[in-house]
Amino acid sequence: MPHFNGIRSLFSFISQNWRGKPLISHEVIINLIAATTSKTGLIVKSDLDPNAYPAGVKVSDQQIAELRLKRDTFHGDWNYALLPRS
């Protein structure tokens, strides 16, 4: 699989794919995301997560410090990969 240059590239391709199309349902959005590809071999898989998640959950400074983040050279505070713990 070709090198993938982070989340900003992913959303760039997704945005190009659904430009001008009405996002009228979750199904339409999931299908447009899943249909995203690039000439260099990017393939996107998507699925709707129907679970409900509580709002306002607080993450402690210690929990943040324990995350394994690989920061991108371009705006590493915004663009990063979350690596497995081990």
Domain boundaries defined on the chain: 6-83
DSSP string, 26-74: HHHHHHHHHT-B-TT--B-----------TT----HHHHHTSEEEE-SS
Q: Give the 3-state secondary structure of residue 17.
A: helix
Q: What pTM, to 2 d.p., does this model score? A: 0.50
Please name the residues in contact with 69: beta carbons below 8 A apart, sequence gap of 6 or more.
Answer: 80, 81, 82, 83
- What are the 10-residue block averages of pLDDT along the chain, 86 residues in total? 52 73 87 82 84 95 92 82 84
d(CA 33, CA 11): 9
Q: What is the pLDDT of residue 2?
A: 42
Q: What is the pLDDT of residue 45?
A: 83
